[in-house]
Chains A and B, each alone.
Chain A
C-alpha cells in the first residue's frame, strides 16, 4: 500500500515538479548542547541536571558543519572538512545516500568504533504536519514533527514551502519540501541551514566506487542503537557520549 502511494506520489511529482530550485547544495551547522541533552537522561536527578546546567551551561556547545547535496531523485549528506585552527581530528564516518527514484538508502556510519554500511529500501518517515511557519536561511518553512522511540527523541523539522525536494539533513527525509532545519529534543541538537546554493549537480551525488564496512540492514542498525542506549542507561552513562545523537 505504501509503495502504491509512493508510486502515485512519484508520478504526481513527475508531472508537477518544476526543474528550477530543486537541485543544489546546502550547508548545515550542527550544534549540540550537552547540558540540554541531559534533560532526557532519566537516571540523573533533578539536582544533577541543574548543577550541570549551572556549571557547564555556557561551554557545552559543539558545532560541526555538514553538506547536503540534493536533487528530486537523490541526496547525499556528509561532514564538511574544515580547517580553521590548523588542527584536524579524524572525522566520524557519516555519509548518508538517498535514492528516491529507486527507493533505496546506502549509509556509511561509524558505530562504536566500527564502520557499517546500512543498505535497505526506503521507508517514508511518519511525519506529523503542524501549523507554524518560520524563516530559515531566507525560505519560509513549515513545521513537521516526528518521534524516534529508540533514541527517545522528539524531532522538529522545518521544511521549505518553495524547494520541491524530499531530501533532508541527517537520516531524515520525506516532506513536501526540502528540510532546512531539525531541532532534536528542544534544542539539544539543532541542525540548521546556513547557506543554500541552487545548481546543477554532476558527480556530487554519486556513491563512491569502494565502500568499506560491514553491511547491515536498517532493522539491524536500529537494534544496535537500541541495545547500546539501554545498556548505557543501565550504567547511568549518557549513551550519546559514544554514539551519534
Chain B
C-alpha cells in the first residue's frame, strides 16, 4: 500500500516538474490598449500587480500606438491593470505563460460615463470607487437642504433616476433592494429606507448588481442579477453621548452630588452640568469644565486690544462664568451650581451659547495678627472675625465666529450677568501699642447687600487682502454695569488711654446706600503691511472711554432719615484713552525683531456733587501724554531653543476705586480716601527668557527674568495718629522697582521611569511709601527652591516626591530693628498603587511649616489623605471610593505676608478631617488607568 503511494507521489512530482519545465522562467508580456471603438490609447499606464495583494510589481506606459511590453519578467500569475484618464480601470488576471511571449492582443477598455466623470469626479471632487461593477458615491459631495431624505439625495446622483412615486432606477434598471450598512431596512420595499432615512445620516451610496435571492438561497448562480443600492451610515452620526454622576456621603454631614451629561454629533455639542456639595468645591474642576464647554473651551483671536504684537491668535481659556472652582482654602462653603452649553460648528460657522448659575455660602472664622511699623516704633492689631456671606450669579454667554468668505472673518461675543450677594462680618479688633499695652478695642458688626448686573459685548472683524501678509482688523466692545447696594455699619470703640470719659467710648451706626453705573466703550484698528519678504509695517489705534457715576447716601443707622452730608457724595469720573502706534517688524528664519513707538493720551475728568442733581462742588480735569517705545527680539537658533528679549514702557491709568473722592469708614481705625489727582503709573519693563528642550535626552531648561522700574506709581501713603487710627490715601510716587527671576529644569534620571525637576526663584522688590510723612522703603528679598521627583517603577505604582523651601527677608528703612525673615517649607509625597486589578490605593501626604523669627512664630501642618477606589460593572462603569481626608485633623489656612510698613500673619479655619464614601456612574465607563486619574476627588 505504502509502496504504491510512494510510487504515485514520485510519478506525480515528475509530472509536475515536467509540466513546469515546459514553461519558461522569464517571459515578455505585451498587448495593445484600445478603447471600445478600437481607437488607440497612447500613453496609457500599464501595471503588473501581484494577484494576492494587489502590490505593484512593475509598470510602464503604452507607446503612441497603444503598444506596451514588459520584457524579461518572472513567469508568475499577475493582475494586469491599465489606467487611462476618462476610462474605467481595466483588470485582467494573467496565468503563467507557456510561451516566452505572452501576447494579450487587443485590450479594450471602457470609458467612464461622461456624466459620472464630470459631476462626481470633477465638479464634486468626490472619490469614485469602482469595485468590479460596484460604483460608490460619496454622499457628502452632493448638497441637499437640511432635513432632506435619502430619496432627495438619490435624485441628485448621476445615473440614478427616482420617479414621482419614489421608484428608483439605476443605470436604467429598476432597483429592487435598498440595504443599510448591508442589512435590509424595513422589509423588502426599497422605498421604505429612501423615504424614511435622513440624507445627513449617510456617508456613502453604493450601487451594484446583486445575485437574486433565489441564487443566494440555492447557491446556484442563475445569472439573474438585481440592481441594489447599499447606504452606508456615517460613523460619527452613530449617536455620541457621555456623562457621569457622582453621589457621596461623609462624616460630619458632608455630602456631594455632581453630574454631567453630553450629547454630540459632528456639528453639535450639547451638555448639562450640575453640582451641590458642602466640601468646599465652589465650582467644577478643570477637566469637567472642559467637557462642559466642549470645543469652545479655547477660543482664539478674541483679543481686540491691538498693538505691539497683541491681538493675535493667543488662546483664551474659558468664558465669563464662575463655573471653575476657585476656593482659596479658607472657611466652610455650601455650594450649588449648574449650567447648559450648546456649540454648533460647521463649515465657516462656530456658535456657542451657555447659561450658568452658581451660588456659594461661606462661613469663615479667622484670626489675624498685624504689626505696623512707624518712624518711632510699631503697634500690633489682633483681629478675630467671623463672616457669613452668600453670593449667587446667573450668566448667559454667546460667541459667534463666522468666516464671511475666504478673506473676511467676524467674531462677536456677548455676556449678561446678574448677581446678588450679602455678607455679615463680626470683628473684634485690639490695638496693642509700642509698650505692649491694649490701647483700643473695637467691635465691628458690618453687613452689606449688593445687586449687580453686567452686560458686555465685543465684535472683531478681520480682513485679509489679496496681497499676502496685508491684514486689516477692527474691533469694538462695550461694558455696561450697574451695582446697587447697602452697607450697614455698626461699631463700638473703646479708647483705654483716653482720660476724658467722653472720649473713652464711641459708637457708630451708619447706613450707606450705594449706586454705581459704569459704561466702557472701546475700539481698535490694526493694519499690517508687508514691505518686503522680510519687513512688515504695523499700525494700530486704540480708543477707550470709561464713564463711571457713583452715588452714595450715608444715613444715621438708628434714625434712617438723618443724612450724613459729609459722608455722602455723588460723582462722575471719565477716563478717555487714545493710543496710536506704529512699528517695523523684521523676520528671517527664526529671527524676529520688532521696533515700535506709540503716542498715548489719557483725559481724566471728575465732577463731585453733594448729592445727585446737586450743585457741582469740585471739578478736576487732567490730561496726561506719553510717548512709549517698544522693542522685542526673538531668536529660534535651533529647533526647541527659544530666546526672547523685550523692552517697553507701560502706562496704566489709576483704578476707579483709587480715584473715588469718598471716605471709606467701614473700619473707623482704617480710613481710606480716594484721590482724584492721581496720574497714570508709568513703568519700564525689561524681560528676557531662554528656553531649551533637548529632545534626545528629554532635558529641558528654562530661565526668565523680569525687571520693572516705576514712575508715578500709585502707593497708599499712611498717617497714623496717637489713637492708632490709620488714614490712607493713594498718591503718586516714583522709585519702586522689582526684579524677578526663575530657573526651571527637568531631566530624566532613568528614562521613562524617574524624572526630576528643579526650580529656583529670586524676587527682589523696593517699595517706597510715606508713613507719617517719613519716607519708608521696604526692601524684600525672597528666595525659594523646589525639587521634585516623579517615579513610575511599574505600570501599577506611581509616586511623586517633592520638597520646597522659601525665605523672604524684609527690611524696613524706618524701623530697621523690625527687619525679619518669613520662612515656609514643605514636603509632599503622593503615591498611587493599583494593588489588585481595577483597585487603586491613593494617598497624599503634605507637610508644611511656617516660621517668622520676629513673631516668634512656628507652626507645622501635616495633612494626610488616603483613599481606595474600585471599578465595577461592565466597562468599569461604576466606581466606588472610600476616602479619608486630613487623617490627622490639622487642616487650616495660614498666610504670611509682609509689605509696605506692615507684616501680617493670618490663620483661617477650614474643613478638616472627614471620611467619605462615593459612587460614580460613568455612561462610557471609567478609565482603568493609574496615571491619568490624578484628581484626589
Q: Which of B59, B122, B130, B590 contacts A89 (CB 8 A)?
A: B590
In the complex the two chains form, what is the Cα distance from A146 to B126 in whole Å?
22
Chain B residues with CB below 8 A from A56, complex form = 295, 298
Interfacial residues of chain B within 466-513, with CB under 8 A of chain A in the complex: 468-469, 471
Interface centre among B294, B922, B931 (most CB of A within 10 A): B294
Interfacial residues of chain A within 32-86, with CB under 8 A of chain B in the complex: 45-48, 50-51, 54-59, 81-86
Verify if A134 is at the interface (C-beta below 8 Å from B). Answer: yes
Verify if B345 is at the interface (C-beta below 8 Å from A). Answer: yes
Q: How far is the CB of A223 from chain B (nearest CB, A)?
A: 14
Chain A residues with CB below 8 A from B696, complex form = 112-114
Flag B652-678 by CB within 8 Å of A: 1 or 0 each: 000000000000000000000000000
Which one of A9-17, A96-104, A202-210, A211-219 is at the B interface?
Answer: A9-17
Q: Is the CB of A127 within 8 A of B290?
A: no
Q: Is the CB of A92 within 8 A of B639?
A: yes
In the complex the two chains form, what is the Cα distance from A81 to B58 in whole Å?
37
Q: Which of B533, B538, B752 contacts A231 (CB 8 A)?
A: B752
Nearest neighbor of B236 in chain A, beta-carbon distance? A53
Q: Is the CB of A83 within 8 A of B130?
A: no
Chain A residues with CB below 8 A from B127, complex form = 132-134, 143
Q: How far is the CB of A123 from chain B (nearest CB, A)?
A: 13
Q: Is the CB of A87 within 8 A of B587?
A: yes
Known: A85-B471, A131-B89, A161-B45. A110 touches B60 (CB 8 A): no
Chain A residues with CB below 8 A from B929, complex form = 45
Verify if B49 is at the interface (C-beta below 8 Å from A). Answer: yes
Q: How far is the CB of A83 from chain B (nearest CB, A)?
A: 6
Q: Which of B49, B290, B298, B585 contacts A129 (CB 8 A)?
A: B49
Chain A residues with CB below 8 A from B932, complex form = 45, 48
Nearest neighbor of B748 in chain A, beta-carbon distance? A235
Q: Is the CB of A46 within 8 A of B60?
A: no
Chain B residues with CB below 8 A from A13, complex form = 60-61
Q: Is the CB of B49 within 8 A of A12?
A: no
Q: Is the CB of A236 within 8 A of B128?
A: no
Verify if B609 is at the interface (C-beta below 8 Å from A). Answer: no
Chain B residues with CB below 8 A from A191, complex form = none
Q: Is the CB of B47 within 8 A of A135?
A: no
Verify if B436 is at the interface (C-beta below 8 Å from A). Answer: no
Known: A113-B694, A133-B89. A54 touches B122 (CB 8 A): no
Verify if A19 is at the interface (C-beta below 8 Å from B). Answer: no
Q: Which of B585, B590, B693 contacts A86 (CB 8 A)?
A: B585
Verify if A226 is at the interface (C-beta below 8 Å from B). Answer: no
Verify if B874 is at the interface (C-beta below 8 Å from A). Answer: no
Interfacial residues of chain A within 123-167, with CB under 8 A of chain B in the complex: 126-135, 140, 142-144, 161-162, 164
Nearest neighbor of A114 in chain B, beta-carbon distance? B696
In the complex the two chains form, what is the Cα distance from A131 to B58 in whole Å?
17
Q: Is the CB of B636 within 8 A of A89?
A: yes
Q: How far is the CB of A242 from chain B (nearest CB, A)?
A: 5
Chain B residues with CB below 8 A from A83, complex form = 468-469, 530, 533-534, 536, 587
Q: Is the CB of B589 within 8 A of A88?
A: yes
Q: How far is the CB of A60 from chain B (nearest CB, A)?
A: 9
Q: Which of A16, A129, A231 contacts B81 (CB 8 A)?
A: A129
Interfacial residues of chain B within 20-76, with CB under 8 A of chain A in the complex: 43, 45, 47, 49, 53-63, 68-73
Known: A85-B471, A86-B469, A134-B121. A16 touches B43 (CB 8 A): yes
Q: How far is the CB of A39 from chain B (nearest CB, A)?
A: 12
Verify if A90 is at the interface (C-beta below 8 Å from B). Answer: yes
Q: Is the CB of B592 within 8 A of A47?
A: no
Q: Which of B43, B468, B928, B931 contacts A164 (CB 8 A)?
A: B43
Nearest neighbor of A130 in chain B, beta-carbon distance? B54
Interface centre among A48, A86, A130 (most CB of B within 10 A): A86
Q: Is the CB of A113 within 8 A of B122?
A: no
Flag B715-756 by CB within 8 Å of A: 1 or 0 each: 000000000000000000000000000000000000110000
Q: Count contacts on A: residues with CB < 8 A to the other chain.
A: 64
Q: How far is the CB of A161 from chain B (nearest CB, A)?
A: 5
Q: Is the CB of B125 within 8 A of A135?
A: yes
Chain A residues with CB below 8 A from B56, complex form = 126-129, 144, 174-176
Known: A18-B43, A86-B530, A133-B128. A54 touches B61 (CB 8 A): no
Q: Is the CB of B83 within 8 A of A161?
A: yes
Q: Which of B62, B293, B639, B925 contacts A113 (CB 8 A)?
A: B639
Q: Which of A51, A59, A84 contacts B300 (CB 8 A)?
A: A59
Q: Is the CB of B927 within 8 A of A85?
A: no
Q: Is the CB of B71 within 8 A of A129?
A: no
Verify if B131 is at the interface (C-beta below 8 Å from A). Answer: yes
Chain A residues with CB below 8 A from B693, complex form = 113
In the complex the two chains form, what is the Cα distance from A128 to B126 in whole Å?
21
Verify if B143 is at the interface (C-beta below 8 Å from A). Answer: no
In the complex the two chains form, what is the Cα distance from A5 to B117 in whole Å?
34
Q: How far is the CB of A12 from chain B (nearest CB, A)?
A: 4
Interface centre among A127, A129, A177, A235 (most CB of B within 10 A): A129
Chain A residues with CB below 8 A from B130, complex form = 131-133
Verify if A234 is at the interface (C-beta below 8 Å from B). Answer: yes
Q: How far is the CB of B264 from chain A (nearest CB, A)?
A: 6
Q: How far is the CB of B158 from chain A (nearest CB, A)?
A: 15
Q: How far is the CB of B712 from chain A (nearest CB, A)?
A: 33
Chain A residues with CB below 8 A from B54, complex form = 128-130
Q: How far is the CB of B137 from chain A (nearest CB, A)?
A: 12
Known: A55-B297, A175-B56. A86 touches B89 (CB 8 A): no
Chain B residues with CB below 8 A from A113, complex form = 638-640, 693-696
Q: How far is the CB of B366 from chain A (nearest CB, A)?
A: 38
In the complex the two chains form, what is the Cα distance from A227 to B719 in whole Å?
69
Verify if B161 is at the interface (C-beta below 8 Å from A). Answer: no
Chain B residues with CB below 8 A from A58, complex form = 295, 345, 350
Q: Is the CB of A132 within 8 A of B128?
A: yes
Q: Is the CB of A132 within 8 A of B298?
A: no
Chain A residues with CB below 8 A from B264, complex form = 54
Verify if B239 is at the interface (C-beta below 8 Å from A). Answer: no
Chain A residues with CB below 8 A from B640, complex form = 113
Q: Which of B63, B71, B695 contacts A16 (CB 8 A)?
A: B63
Q: Is the CB of A16 within 8 A of B60?
A: yes
Verify if A8 is at the interface (C-beta below 8 Å from B). Answer: yes
Chain B residues with CB below 8 A from A57, complex form = 295, 345
Nearest neighbor of B54 in chain A, beta-carbon distance? A128
Verify if A91 is at the interface (C-beta below 8 Å from B). Answer: yes
Chain A residues with CB below 8 A from B468, complex form = 82-84
Chain B residues with CB below 8 A from A87, complex form = 585, 587, 592
Q: Is the CB of A134 within 8 A of B591?
A: no
Q: How far is the CB of B133 from chain A (nearest CB, A)?
A: 11
In the complex the two chains form, what is the Cα distance from A126 to B591 in whole Å?
42
Q: Is the CB of A5 within 8 A of B639?
A: no
Q: Is the CB of B590 within 8 A of A59?
A: no
Q: Is the CB of A55 within 8 A of B83?
A: no
Q: How far is the CB of A38 from chain B (nearest CB, A)?
A: 14
Q: Is the CB of A47 within 8 A of B242?
A: yes
Q: Is the CB of A135 within 8 A of B122?
A: yes
Q: Is the CB of A135 within 8 A of B121?
A: yes
Q: Is the CB of A142 within 8 A of B294?
A: no
Known: A55-B290, A88-B590. A142 touches B89 (CB 8 A): yes
Q: Is the CB of B131 within 8 A of A84?
A: no
Residues of A with Cβ closer than 8 Å to B? Answer: 4-5, 8-9, 12-13, 15-18, 45-48, 50-51, 54-59, 81-92, 110, 112-114, 126-135, 140, 142-144, 161-162, 164, 174-177, 231, 234-236, 242
The 7 listed contacts between A and B (C-beta, < 8 Å) are A16-B61, A45-B932, A46-B924, A56-B298, A59-B300, A175-B59, A176-B61
The 9 closest A-B CB pairs, nearest first, are A90-B590, A86-B536, A134-B127, A88-B587, A90-B636, A112-B695, A12-B60, A16-B61, A176-B59
Besides A4-B72, A47-B242, 19 other CB < 8 A contacts? A9-B58, A9-B60, A45-B929, A55-B291, A59-B295, A59-B300, A85-B471, A86-B528, A86-B585, A90-B589, A113-B639, A129-B81, A132-B127, A133-B127, A134-B126, A142-B83, A143-B127, A174-B56, A236-B931
